[in-house]
Amino acid sequence: MAKKLLIVDDEADFANFVLTASEAVGYEARVCNDCAAARETLKDFTPDLMVLDIVIPGEDGIEFLNWFSSQSFDTKVILVTGFNTSKSCPARYELVPIGPENRHLLDCLRAA
């Protein structure tokens, strides 16, 4: 059975990149462009891994992560951002700055 990945990112190009890369390494993946859509998806899709953008219009990634952490999901989370941000990341999560090569993210997908 394929591992499940939820991608929450408002940047369609990046979300599609993660979708393509994750499917290439065997994930069943779904993309949500905001946190409200992610909450809806989580009603019937329990991911093993979530790639979550921090800077999203409306409810941002950190607010969503605080809610998500209070639920009973057993899901690894990779936080990503294409921006320099002063937002603090909860200690149990890793913040992955995204650059032109995205190598670190690909390594995380393979290792999860």
Q: Name which residue leads in pLDDT, 14 or 89.
A: 14
CA torsion angle 15 47 63 102 (round to 10): -40
Query: Tokens at residue 84, please?
Result: 């320099």
Look up the domain containing 66 and give its range.
4-26+33-86+94-111
Is 5 a residue whose pLDDT tops 70? yes
Strand order in the sheet with 49-53: 28-32, 4-8, 49-53, 76-81, 94-97
Range scoring the smallest mean pLDDT among 9-13, 48-52, 83-87, 107-111 = 83-87
Q: Which pLDDT does position 87 carry in this prediction?
A: 54
Q: Quote the number of domains for the chain.
A: 1
Instruction: Say which CATH number the domain at 82 has.
Output: 3.40.50.2300
pLDDT level of residue 85 (50, 70, 90 thresholds):
low
pLDDT level of residue 38 (50, 70, 90 thresholds):
very high
Is 84 a residue whose pLDDT tops 70? no
Amino acid at 23: E
**10 contact partners, CB below 8 Å, separation of at least 6:** 33, 34, 53, 56, 57
